[in-house]
Homo-oligomer: A and B are copies of this chain.
Amino acid sequence: MAKHSILETLNDSLRKDTLDEISTMRFPPGQVLFSAGEHCRGLPLVLGGSIKVQMTGVSGHGIVLYRMGADDICTLSIGCLMTGRGYRAEAVVEEAAEVAIIPKGLFDRLMDQSADFRLAIMESYGRRLDDLMLLVEEVAFHRMDERLEEWLLARATQGQRVLTITHQELGVELGTAREVVSRLLKELERRQQVKLARGKIELTGLVSGLTTA
């Protein structure tokens, strides 16, 4: 049964109706939930797993905009749902994900009848705007070596020691070219902070923050 904190905002009656109307689906890694241009079928609630949202520019380059995990709402879908426009980005499952979709009719009803539901939706929107503003700042003003180290460090603190990712994919994460990633990683390897192998990056000695001082 669907378990998502936004359901907690509903009173018993609405929650029951909602649980009756939605069904949860499971998606394997690599599955594309929606791609650019597609139309929106409802508001996806992420119950678990990890989904990345990325866009591909006119230049042909891609960049990861943000990730969604357990208890997240796919805020991006709301705009498409309300205006009928197609998605501008695509969503790809990273870790096997569980998703429930709230159909438009039900969404409208929940927005109408629950102030707490509205609040949760608005909060989600606010957070997403914040995320994107921070990303703009990051992309515009931060050095690529710092951004790469921060990205790796974030994985390291999640307990991951060996990452399975290609330089190309890492380039999309950071919005840069594969060659740039390769060169920066090689430099990190020279400093003994990582060990490289085809499709793998082993984190051996990343130092937070101070490596660029």
Q: Using CB atoms and an 8 Å cutoff, list the residues of chain A in contact with chain B.
A: 55, 57-59, 61, 63, 65, 75-76, 78-80, 82-83, 85, 88-89, 108, 111-112, 115, 118-119, 122-123, 125-130, 132-142, 175-176
Contacts and interface: CB of A to CB of B under 8 A. Distances in A.
The 8 tightest CB contacts between A and B, nearest first, are A79-B126, A57-B137, A140-B175, A132-B132, A59-B141, A82-B122, A61-B141, A139-B140
A57 B132 CA distance: 13
B136 A79 contact: no
Nearest to A63: B140
Contacts of A141: 57, 59, 61, 63, 175
B129 A76 contact: yes
Contact of A79 (B57, B76, B111, B125): B125
A129 B126 contact: no
A94 B135 CA distance: 25
A79 B142 contact: no
Nearest to A111: B118
A4 to B, nearest CB: 19
B142 A75 contact: no
Contacts of A142: 57, 59
Contacts of A127: 79
A123 B142 CA distance: 32
Given A61-B140, A78-B122, A129-B129, 11 more contacts: A55-B136, A57-B140, A63-B140, A79-B127, A83-B126, A111-B118, A112-B115, A125-B129, A135-B136, A136-B136, A136-B175
B59 A125 contact: no
A115 B110 CA distance: 11
20 contacts: A55-B133, A55-B136, A57-B140, A59-B137, A65-B136, A75-B125, A75-B129, A78-B125, A78-B126, A79-B122, A82-B126, A88-B130, A108-B115, A112-B115, A118-B118, A125-B129, A132-B136, A139-B139, A140-B176, A141-B175
